[in-house]
Amino acid sequence: MNRNVWLLRPKPHGTDQMDYFLENDCIAIGYPVGQPLDDCSYSEIKKLLEAHKWEGGLSNVNILVREMKPHDIVVVPYESKIYFAEVTSEYKYVPEFDEDKKGSGFPHQREVKWAFNKQPISRNDLPSALRDSLQYPGAVASLTKHLDIVLDIMNESEKHVQLNNDLLEAKKKAIQLLVETINNTELEIEHRLRAVEILLKN
C-alpha cells in the first residue's frame, strides 16, 4: 500500500480549529466556494478559486480534495505540539461551513483517526529532519519523504500508549482487589486495615 504523509495546519479560513478537529475526528481547509469539489477537475477547482480570489490556495485544495487518500498520514503542528492522524475517509463536503465568515468557512474536510489517544508529541522530540520540514509556512504540503520516520514515531508511540493502558488496567484491578479485601468481613482485621493503608497511599 502506497501511503503519503501530509502537513496540514489547523487554521482553515484563518481561525484556530484544533479543538474542532480533535472533537470531530476530522481535518479541514477553508476556501468556501459555494459547492462541493469531489466531482471537480483540477482546472475546474482553479476556476472556482480564481472567481473568489483564492487562487493562491489551489495546491492546498487540490491536495485535500484530489490527492489525499484513506490510510495517508496527516501531521498537524499546533504551537509546540504535533498531532498525528490517519485519513479514514474520502473527501467530505460540510455545507453548513460553506460561508465566508470568521469562525466558519471550512467545508472541505476529511475524517481521520487521531493517533496516541489524541495526545500530541512535543516538537522538540521529533527527529531534526522532520522538525525542519514542519517550518514550511504553507497550510498544506507533502511530507512523504519522511514516511519512514513518521511510521517509526507512530509505531513507537503506539507501544507507549498500549503500555500505559495496560498499566492503568492493572491498577484498576489492584484497587478492586483491595476494596474486596476491605469489605471481606471473614478476613482478620489486620489484613483489612493493611488493605486500607495501601489503598490510601494510591
- pLDDT at position 7 is 98
CA 142/CA 133 separation, integer angstroms: 10
- pLDDT at position 94 is 98
- pLDDT at position 189 is 79
Residues in the chain with pLDDT < 70?
Answer: 157-175, 178, 181, 187, 191, 195-196, 199, 202
According to CATH, what is the number of the domain 5-149? 3.10.590
Q: Residue 143, CB half-sphere, CA atoms under 13 Å: how many?
A: 29
What is the percent of the chain with per-residue pLDDT over 90, rounded to a whole number? 73
CA 61/CA 114 separation, integer angstroms: 21
Backbone angles phi, psi at 49, to 5 degrees: -65, -40
- pLDDT at position 163 is 46
- pLDDT at position 170 is 59
> In which residue are the cell numbers 483540477 written?
42
- pLDDT at position 202 is 66
- pLDDT at position 52 is 95
CA 106/CA 99 separation, integer angstroms: 8
